[in-house]
Structure 1
Amino acid sequence: MDFDTIENLPREKLLELLSIYAKNWLATDGLWFQGVETHYGFTTALDIDREMWEQFTVIEARRIKAFLELPEHSGLAGLKRALQFRLYAPLNKTETYMEGQSLIYRVVTCRVQDARQRKGLEYHTCKPVGTVEYSLFAAAIDPRITTEVLSCHPDVTDPGCNCKWKFSIP
């Protein structure tokens, strides 16, 4: 196949390219983290990673919100929709469902944790960064949304998934 521009790609090739871009982004993120960890230690890498996510997750959420044309107060329905468009969405198996008045989001398979397991590494302690990431993403979609971590490495309470988050509007 010979394609001269992205605009000329057929739908199936665009979807394949989307997956490649998501994998490349995630590989860059992981390699960056491992490089900082190697040179400066895990704690420093985690601190820097958390600072990066404080900024990136808001940028990502605002762009998705604009793309989906979500209103300022799109609520949990808006968040549920936006979560499906995250940069790494094509890479992880997730479940999203309502439980009472809250939205539950479970990352069943996580490409990062799966890769670490294949390499014989310990699970990544992602709770400190994930808490920042998901809280700020949700608040950028709708500032009324609060976030609670239900299960996340190293504090896994739901062995059927890698992490589990609860979003509510008080």
Structure 2
Amino acid sequence: MYNKYLAELSKEELLELIELYAKNWLAHDGVWFQSIERKFGMAEAMYHDEEAWKRFTVIEAKRIKEFLQLPENPGLEGLEQALHYRFYGNLNEHECIREGNRLVYRNRDCRVQTARSRKGMPYHPCKSVGIYEYSGFAATIDARIKCRCLSCFPDCTESPDGCVWEFYLEEE
């Protein structure tokens, strides 16, 4: 089932709409988080953010894996392909770099951190959420893949406007 109006749009219009949908999704994610943050504080907001990402990242990865028709264990190649199709892939400047038996995902400019900075808000301490998000996404694509954070707020070794994650196949 699909929206019949989408079939009438050009490829360019569909691409523009995908970006709009991604921005709307991220805006919704941000406004519910900030609502909890204002009323109950950052710790409570982080708890709920972590709980939501534990579930959402698996749903997102399963749907992308099915869409791309990836095999059961597609390895780092499959993960790299899937990472480009995440909602964030439409919003944040990112790159994937293969270095031997590892894949480094670098998010160069995070819309969340940029928006919080622009509004005079402190950076989102997203490392704990990112651990669930990226580890869960990778493990859903291929259960053998493990994830390690290389840089993410508040533990930045690079710019606080982005983050860096390393994926590798666990040796059997």
CA gap of 1:160–1:35, structure 2 versus 1, over 3 A, is closer
Measured in 2, the distance between the counterparts of 1:43 and 1:13 equals: 40
Q: CA deviation at 1:160?
A: 8.2
Q: How many residues align?
A: 167
57-66 or 156-165, which deviates more: 156-165
| TM-score with structure 2 setting the length | 0.94
Q: Quick check: 2:113–2:160 contact (8 Å CA) kept in 1?
A: no
Q: Quick check: 1:36–1:45 contact (8 Å CA) kept in 2?
A: yes
Aligned with 1:71: secondary structure? coil
Measured in 2, the distance between the counterparts of 1:82 and 1:40 equals: 35
Q: Quick check: 2:96–2:105 contact (8 Å CA) kept in 1?
A: yes
Q: Quick check: 2:108–2:161 contact (8 Å CA) kept in 1?
A: yes
Aligned with 2:88: secondary structure? coil
- 1:17 aligns with 17
Aligned with 2:24: secondary structure? helix
Q: Quick check: 2:114–2:161 contact (8 Å CA) kept in 1?
A: no
Measured in 1, the distance between the counterparts of 2:69 and 2:132 equals: 24
* Moved >4 Å (runs of 4+): none
- 2:61 aligns with 61
Q: Quick check: 1:106–1:161 contact (8 Å CA) kept in 2?
A: no
2:91 maps to 1:91 = yes
Quick one: which amino acid aligns to residue 103 of structure 2? Answer: L
- 1:154 aligns with 154
Quick one: which amino acid aligns to residue 156 of structure 1? Answer: C
Q: CA deviation at 1:159?
A: 2.9
143-152 or 34-43, which deviates more: 34-43
* Identical pairs, percent: 53
2:74 maps to 1:74 = yes
CA gap of 1:160–1:29, structure 2 versus 1, over 3 A, is closer
Measured in 2, the distance between the counterparts of 1:64 and 1:121 equals: 33
- 1:125 aligns with 125
- 1:42 aligns with 42
Measured in 2, the distance between the counterparts of 1:161 and 1:5 equals: 37
Aligned with 2:71: secondary structure? coil
Aligned with 1:159: secondary structure? coil
Quick one: which amino acid aligns to residue 46 of structure 1? Answer: M
Aligned with 1:72: secondary structure? coil
Q: CA deviation at 1:16?
A: 0.4
Q: Quick check: 2:153–2:160 contact (8 Å CA) kept in 1?
A: no
153-162 or 51-60, which deviates more: 153-162
Superposed counterparts of 1:96-115, under 5 Å: 96-115=96-115
Measured in 1, the distance between the counterparts of 2:169 and 2:68 equals: 21
| Unaligned ranges ≥5, structure 2 | none
Q: CA deviation at 1:88?
A: 1.9
- 2:52 aligns with 52
